[in-house]
Amino acid sequence: MRLNAWIMALALLAGSAAAAQEEVLRRITVSGEGSVAAAPDMATLSLGAAAEAKEAAEALRMTSEITQRILERLAEAGIEPRDIQTSGLSLHPLRRNYREGTDEQPGIIGYAASNGVTVRVRDLDQLGSVLDTVVSDGANSLNGLSFGLQEPRPLMDEARKLAVADARAKAELYAAAAGVSVGRLISLDESGGGGPSPYMAEMSMARSAVPVAAGEMDVSAQVRIVYEVVE
């Protein structure tokens, strides 16, 4: 009697395993990508001021004066305070390297100070003139220029829709090739994409002292979808 019970239990387990395997085999997993291109409507500048002097206080004073002029010019250009941020204030000694065969001794010969300013320019027509103004008035380092979108969400949502449509089209193609049909959606995961990435295009902004090409932003999305397969 006990042996029969064990046989029945094993049969049930085998049947459950076969059913589970069949369920796994009756699914199709696909990935989809979507991309939307748009002209940027914002630029971010990373610039700064640097100065050297024999005394640390003098180097900091010179850097602070340049930074203050930069901030004043940005305000005059209509850049809002929320779009201006100072960062990366630094001060370090300048050392003389010992040279063999000379009387020069290693030691501190001065100090270098620097201060960074990050600026968001929301009116791209101003970008060239803003660059020209701050550089002419003391900014002596330009560490980066990037373009972006003030409201990327609508484009991101459109890219997501395109990614889902791309995945669905792939699933239907594979299913038709296999002689089956696409059934209900089992799972959907966003698997990458996201932030805008710039690439150059035929959009020139040479309307001011510093010519700038803005290009376009490519907003992308990626999804991974699992569908049920039906006969």
89 within 8 A of 118, measured Cβ to Cβ: no
Do 46 and 33 lie in one domain? The reply is no
Hey, what are 206's tokens?
A: 């040479």
Look up tokens 């972006």; give the residue: 148
Do 81 and 101 lie in one domain? The reply is yes
Q: What is the CATH number of the domain that holds 65?
A: 3.30.70.2970
Has residue 174 been placed in a domain?
Answer: yes
Of 184, 166, 183, the closest CA to residue 220 belongs to 166
Structural domain count of the chain: 2
Do 203 and 158 lie in one domain? The reply is yes
Helix/strand/coil for 124: helix
Hey, what are 41's tokens?
A: 């409507």
CA distances from 64 to 50, 74, 120 (A): 9, 15, 21
Q: What is the CATH number of the domain that holds 215?
A: 3.30.110.170
Has residue 20 been placed in a domain?
Answer: no
Has residue 222 been placed in a domain?
Answer: yes
Out of 148, 168, 190, pick the residue that ends a domain: 148
* Percent of the chain whose predicted confidence (pLDDT) is above 90: 54
Predicted model pTM: 0.67
Segments of the chain with pLDDT less than 70 = 1-25, 98-105, 192-212
Strand-pair category, 42-53 with 216-230: unpaired
Q: At 7, phi and psi to the nearest 5?
A: -60, -45
State the virtual CA torsion across 199, 203, 207, 213 in degrees, nearest 10. Answer: 10
Out of 96, 113, 148, pick the residue that ends a domain: 148
For residue 3, is it left (φ>0), alpha (ψ between -120 and 50) or beta? alpha
Has residue 7 been placed in a domain?
Answer: no
Q: Give dist(CA 149, CA 166) in Å, integer.
A: 25
Close Cβ partners of 63 (under 8 Å, ≥ 6 residues apart): 49, 50, 51, 113, 114, 115
Do 165 and 133 lie in one domain? The reply is no
Out of 106, 129, 148, pick the residue that ends a domain: 148
Helix/strand/coil for 163: helix
According to the model, what pLDDT value does residue 133 have? 85
Q: At 148, phi and psi to the nearest 5?
A: -150, -175
Q: Give dist(CA 85, CA 140) in Å, integer.
A: 17
Do 161 and 88 lie in one domain? The reply is no
37 within 8 A of 129, measured Cβ to Cβ: no
Task: For the chain, give the number of residues.
Answer: 231
Has residue 33 been placed in a domain?
Answer: yes
Q: Which domain holds residue 160?
A: 26-39+152-230
